[in-house]
Chain A
């Protein structure tokens, strides 16, 4: 039966104004707001009540816009994020969010603001607990919630943290995000928020099978029957190379699969047409004939060779190997009296950014323009060019604001598909993935199966460490080789170990492609090395923190790859900073345990180190800064801000180098026509590499100014409208900017800086200097385990990180808190299973209530190569968390968890097995 879907007039109050719409009453309110009223501040992260991104107020109370039928708005008072600010002035709540840096990527911010507002409407001075309860239905993947809760409490006047009231904007200050306001106002434009009016929509048809061959019948009939459906794209429509991938020589993932699929979620066709039609035509209507085949779903079946290989060219399913050998770990271990060993297995982990992949593409003359949520515009440009068979200069990538990335938006998602569609249809095309689609198709953290052993002498000095790890890289290469390379270098931890043997393999299976996720395999291997440290410490009778301190890498020592560490090695300082808390917390937990039978507490510790930048590879960044005749300074920032705050810190750094205030800067981010290539936002490289380039660009501009004014090097600069004042000991010189001839983009003076961190190649034993600098850190975590339920709660966590030099404390803290949240998720709950956890209801990420108090200690051992001493923190922040939590569980229960995440059933099983042995 056909259902007539008639429009009706619905009247309600919207942000204080009377509003009347003619809409089908069954339309979701989120659609009405975003599409019919153009209010894209309300976000859609799941469309199913699981994420809270769409939270709005109806009659003052928080509701899901994605589950509210428009018909139910009749007569209601509706408030969206756009209604919070009054006369363009941020509300007190928005101001507090701004000051605390509570919006990182900002995609959850509208929902958070509305949820918080609904509480403040009825409880002007709520307690911390009430705030946490009120925010319980909104997920944030970036912040770890700390700053959000703090901001709400401050807005209500309940609690205030010590923050300088209105921080200045210099290097090292708590400058508010330069791109913060639009995120708070709901005016920020993310991938799904805009497209040309005449855009067609694209819906991707994906494989429901992990492995299958298929035949796609000719689409003519369906197109005929559905006038709104313009085209069904298949692999034959790809004008250039039907393959993409991170590595220039491995373009193994088809844009659209030809004849066979290798994982559930692989793209096989794309429907293009008006929105209604592409959604009305179901996958079933296409009549694809699937022949499912035996899939390789375990390490064993990948290695056995019984099932035909995932990719024909990799007969043994071995995509890549990594190797490192220093000294003779095997024989030292054999002879050693104090040894530890173990094996661990981790799961697929999903990035779960709250913004699903989205964007639009449009052909302009002989060029393609792509507006997309991405971490890497320049790689996208080159990728799209080769897929279309055109030159990179024919592609322009304009990044949208990015609602979270964490490595997941380094790989192509919508990009090649949109590009092909727009190129051959010569129409603007847009697409937004659904949440299940995003989960099924996107890359994940590599599951790992690891075996490791280590030894030390009786004084507790490490003598050897061996590591073997298999990393499930899924059906396509993505970043698999990077993981295989990076892990051997890092798998011995931030310790001096004289003998190391490390072997890694990236194995192809019929799982989703594993890619880059904060740490490239290092967080997995840290679980192994930290468990070994605990065990060795115990055997030698040395305190676990002291043991690590004793073995910590220090200046003048060589790493496992033989690299001499000359500067910025703050590992020991991180541990020392935690010492007093460590002892105090351990004592407190012991005392607690004396009086508690079923609930037990424990404190664990984890350490990390991580090389900033690409492994043994040139990875330059170029930054530009210009002043125009009006006196506006623009930073042309190619370093994508994905919420971590690159826009802000690049300006802080450049301003410091230039000698003019950051507040006189504006910025352009990542547009490949306007900015220079700053490389990817990955590998914790932007603050370090692009930061240095920003510094150099600022200095370059400054030199020109000093030159023009014929002033002394140490002159002070001052900008006054169109006049640039340069003051040195000889007096003040002025430069009238409007007198200078404009160069590029209307700028009259342009500074440029390029920095490529020095590295060397690794030899066949993995020896060399793969990174120009490393970041170091340590976390301690107090956990509470219910011995009868196997549930674990993290009560508090302290994180010490050597960041070289802090560019912006608020942002560094935000990175660490967010990293801890993801580390906690990885340790305790996150496990992606194909076909089972393909929504944010079954794939669990930490909610506000799951997060502990986090104390942050910043250690500054300056890195001479970095911008004013700074280096990266993005990935470091996550690495020590899981080891610290797992160590805490060990301490509390006496059992070690070898299958991660440590879900209640696994923990309980381990506890009961130990009980049976005892």
Chain B
């Protein structure tokens, strides 16, 4: 049996209590929502918090509010996100991405907030303790070197959330509540390209909700590359949202990639290519090629690096074509 390290589960009923507990225990405490990412990681000793603050019981995190777009509580389960009719209609990429996360059980347990904060991944790191130890620990946990690129000053573990790139494509705002204040930041500012400090979130801050602007007239698509039809993390994700006028001229476009670096990447240059034009397959190819320049996959997930790099333009172009055609 894989054992969890000893810890204590704290179950606050309100956000205020949760923040208070975090203040009290500081670095010794971590938040958890569904626990589907954190528990397996703890079993591998990637995290050893003494206290877990369960956000699951906090009612206000599980609300969905439809007003000038939509506001989705961070505690809403992925299953709900995937099957919510309004999200399916107006934010198709998001319902698709949520529905493609792992397996049915996990989508019932895992939350949108947890998914957006999910730990970065790397074959050297997602291993149990004795293995990491025998190889020598890496800088993400317990060590000071990166086995993927020894000269790298930072960890290159991969952002592996399905929903994160979608948030970039849909211009989401993340609402964070900390002991000091509540603030709203853009999705792309929430992430940073550093495998260890992959979130620009202060440790005490709780992601409380995600706000998506009104998107009528937009089409959005999410495409995920993985080996099997279920369970697997994305090896690559491509999220697109576009708005065309009646003549098929592209008014607006956003393309974002997941699992290509330690943060989801917004491919602005690629989408700019489409603006004001009627995208045909050549133009889509060109945009996709532009996007692929941003991808810097490393040899630290499933499937080899060269392959993953090649797939970026294929996926970007498929996602764009589908969004434009629909």
User: A residues touching B (Cβ–Cβ < 8 Å)?
Assistant: 1, 3-6, 25-26, 28, 31, 44, 47-50, 52, 55, 61-64, 67-69, 71-72, 115, 118, 133-134, 136-138, 206, 208-209, 264, 279, 282-284, 290, 432, 434-436, 788-790, 829, 835-836, 838, 841-842, 844, 846-850, 903-905, 908-909
Asked whether B109 lies within 8 Å of A64 as measured between CB atoms, the reply is yes
B63-112 with Cβ < 8 A to chain A: 79, 102-106, 108-109
B306 contacts the other chain (CB 8 A): yes
Q: Which of A3, A44, A279 has the most CB of B within 10 A?
A: A3
Q: How far is the CB of A849 from chain B (nearest CB, A)?
A: 3
Q: Which of B1, B56, B108, B314 has the most CB of A within 10 A?
A: B1
Asked whether B43 lies within 8 Å of A48 as measured between CB atoms, the reply is yes
Contact residue among A1, A44, A48, A909 (Cβ-Cβ distance under 8 Å from B50): A1
Across-interface contacts of B106 in A (CB, < 8 A): 49, 64, 137
Asked whether A904 lies within 8 Å of B130 as measured between CB atoms, the reply is no
Contact residue among A64, A72, A909 (Cβ-Cβ distance under 8 Å from B105): A64
Contact residue among B79, B231, B307 (Cβ-Cβ distance under 8 Å from A841): B231
Q: How far is the CB of B99 from chain A (nearest CB, A)?
A: 9
Across-interface contacts of B128 in A (CB, < 8 A): 436, 838
Instruction: Given A48-B40, A64-B109, A844-B228, check contact A115 B104 (CB 8 Å).
Output: yes
9 nearest interchain CB pairs?
A137-B103, A849-B229, A208-B134, A905-B307, A136-B230, A47-B2, A48-B40, A137-B105, A3-B6
B3-18 with Cβ < 8 A to chain A: 3-4, 6-9, 11
Q: How far is the CB of B189 from chain A (nearest CB, A)?
A: 30
Across-interface contacts of A836 in B (CB, < 8 A): 123, 127
Contact residue among A4, A64, A69, A284 (Cβ-Cβ distance under 8 Å from B9): A69
Across-interface contacts of A64 in B (CB, < 8 A): 36, 105-106, 109
Instruction: Given A136-B230, A434-B1, A905-B304, check contact A838 B105 (CB 8 Å).
Output: no
* Bound CA–CA A432/B2 (angstroms): 10
**B101-141: contact bitstring with A at CB < 8 Å (1 yes, 0 no)?**
01111101100000000000001001111110111000000
Contact residue among A61, A434, A850 (Cβ-Cβ distance under 8 Å from B2): A434
Asked whether A903 lies within 8 Å of B11 as measured between CB atoms, the reply is no
Known: A25-B11, A64-B106, A841-B231. 16 other contacts (CB 8 A): A5-B6, A6-B8, A25-B9, A31-B1, A49-B36, A62-B104, A63-B109, A67-B35, A68-B109, A72-B56, A137-B106, A208-B131, A282-B129, A283-B130, A844-B228, A846-B228
Asked whether A137 lies within 8 Å of B231 as measured between CB atoms, the reply is yes
19 example contacts (A-B, Cβ-Cβ < 8 A) are as follows A4-B8, A28-B4, A47-B1, A47-B2, A50-B231, A55-B105, A61-B79, A63-B109, A71-B54, A115-B104, A279-B3, A434-B2, A435-B2, A789-B311, A844-B228, A847-B228, A850-B228, A850-B229, A909-B307
Q: How far is the CB of A855 from chain B (nearest CB, A)?
A: 21
Q: How far is the CB of A71 from chain B (nearest CB, A)?
A: 5
Interface size band for B: 35 or more
Asked whether A904 lies within 8 Å of B307 as measured between CB atoms, the reply is yes
B149 contacts the other chain (CB 8 A): no
Q: Which of B50, B52, B106 has the most CB of A within 10 A?
A: B106
* Bound CA–CA A315/B223 (angstroms): 53
B144 contacts the other chain (CB 8 A): no
Asked whether A115 lies within 8 Å of B105 as measured between CB atoms, the reply is yes
Across-interface contacts of A434 in B (CB, < 8 A): 1-2
Across-interface contacts of B225 in A (CB, < 8 A): 789
Asked whether A838 lies within 8 Å of B127 as measured between CB atoms, the reply is yes
**B42-59: contact bitstring with A at CB < 8 Å (1 yes, 0 no)?**
010000001110101000
Asked whether B230 lies within 8 Å of A63 as measured between CB atoms, the reply is no
Asked whether A67 lies within 8 Å of B40 as measured between CB atoms, the reply is yes
Asked whether B131 lies within 8 Å of A838 as measured between CB atoms, the reply is yes
B28 contacts the other chain (CB 8 A): yes
B310-325 with Cβ < 8 A to chain A: 310-311, 314
Across-interface contacts of B302 in A (CB, < 8 A): 842
Asked whether A829 lies within 8 Å of B228 as measured between CB atoms, the reply is yes
B289 contacts the other chain (CB 8 A): no
Across-interface contacts of B307 in A (CB, < 8 A): 790, 904-905, 908-909
Asked whether A63 lies within 8 Å of B108 as measured between CB atoms, the reply is yes
Q: Which of B9, B50, B54, B231 has the most CB of A within 10 A?
A: B231
Q: How far is the CB of A50 from chain B (nearest CB, A)?
A: 7
Asked whether B314 lies within 8 Å of A788 as measured between CB atoms, the reply is yes
Q: How far is the CB of A33 from chain B (nearest CB, A)?
A: 13
Cβ-closest chain B residue relative to A31 = B1
* Bound CA–CA A26/B227 (angstroms): 33
Instruction: Given A208-B133, A432-B1, A842-B302, check contact A67 B108 (CB 8 Å).
Output: no
B303 contacts the other chain (CB 8 A): yes
User: B residues touching A (Cβ–Cβ < 8 Å)?
Assistant: 1-4, 6-9, 11, 28, 35-36, 39-40, 43, 50-52, 54, 56, 79, 102-106, 108-109, 123, 126-131, 133-135, 225, 227-232, 302-304, 306-307, 310-311, 314
Across-interface contacts of A838 in B (CB, < 8 A): 127-128, 131
Across-interface contacts of A283 in B (CB, < 8 A): 130
Contact residue among A55, A290, A436, A904 (Cβ-Cβ distance under 8 Å from B303): A904
* Bound CA–CA A690/B313 (angstroms): 58
Q: How far is the CB of A847 from chain B (nearest CB, A)?
A: 5
Across-interface contacts of B123 in A (CB, < 8 A): 836, 842
* Bound CA–CA A725/B109 (angstroms): 61
Across-interface contacts of A788 in B (CB, < 8 A): 314
Q: How far is the CB of A145 from chain B (nearest CB, A)?
A: 11
Asked whether B40 lies within 8 Å of A49 as measured between CB atoms, the reply is yes
Q: How far is the CB of B120 from chain A (nearest CB, A)?
A: 15
Contact residue among B104, B126, B133 (Cβ-Cβ distance under 8 Å from A133): B104
Instruction: Given A67-B109, A69-B35, A137-B231, check contact A3 B7 (CB 8 Å).
Output: yes
Asked whether A3 lies within 8 Å of B9 as measured between CB atoms, the reply is no
Asked whether B108 lies within 8 Å of A26 as measured between CB atoms, the reply is no
Across-interface contacts of A848 in B (CB, < 8 A): 229-230
Q: Which of A67, A279, A283, A434 has the most CB of B within 10 A?
A: A67
Across-interface contacts of A282 in B (CB, < 8 A): 129
* Bound CA–CA A4/B50 (angstroms): 10
Instruction: Given A209-B134, A432-B1, A904-B303, check contact A52 B228 (CB 8 Å).
Output: no
Across-interface contacts of A62 in B (CB, < 8 A): 104-105, 108
* Bound CA–CA A206/B103 (angstroms): 32
* Bound CA–CA A441/B2 (angstroms): 16
* Bound CA–CA A134/B40 (angstroms): 22
Contact residue among B36, B54, B227 (Cβ-Cβ distance under 8 Å from A844): B227
* Bound CA–CA A203/B133 (angstroms): 19
Across-interface contacts of B11 in A (CB, < 8 A): 25, 71
* Bound CA–CA A118/B230 (angstroms): 18
Q: How far is the CB of A295 from chain B (nearest CB, A)?
A: 12
Across-interface contacts of A137 in B (CB, < 8 A): 102-106, 230-231
* Bound CA–CA A432/B129 (angstroms): 19
Across-interface contacts of B108 in A (CB, < 8 A): 61-63
Across-interface contacts of B314 in A (CB, < 8 A): 788-789
* Bound CA–CA A6/B230 (angstroms): 38
Q: Which of A47, A432, A909 has the most CB of B within 10 A?
A: A47
Q: How far is the CB of B145 from chain A (nearest CB, A)?
A: 17
Q: How far is the CB of B169 from chain A (nearest CB, A)?
A: 21
* Bound CA–CA A150/B127 (angstroms): 37
Asked whether B9 lies within 8 Å of A26 as measured between CB atoms, the reply is yes
* Bound CA–CA A137/B102 (angstroms): 8
* Bound CA–CA A842/B108 (angstroms): 22
Q: How far is the CB of B215 from chain A (nearest CB, A)?
A: 26
Q: How far is the CB of B190 from chain A (nearest CB, A)?
A: 25
Q: How far is the CB of A23 from chain B (nearest CB, A)?
A: 11
Q: How far is the CB of B135 from chain A (nearest CB, A)?
A: 7
* Bound CA–CA A3/B7 (angstroms): 6
Across-interface contacts of A134 in B (CB, < 8 A): 104
Contact residue among A47, A284, A790, A835 (Cβ-Cβ distance under 8 Å from B135): A835
Across-interface contacts of B135 in A (CB, < 8 A): 835
* Bound CA–CA A290/B136 (angstroms): 13
Cβ-closest chain B residue relative to A48 = B40
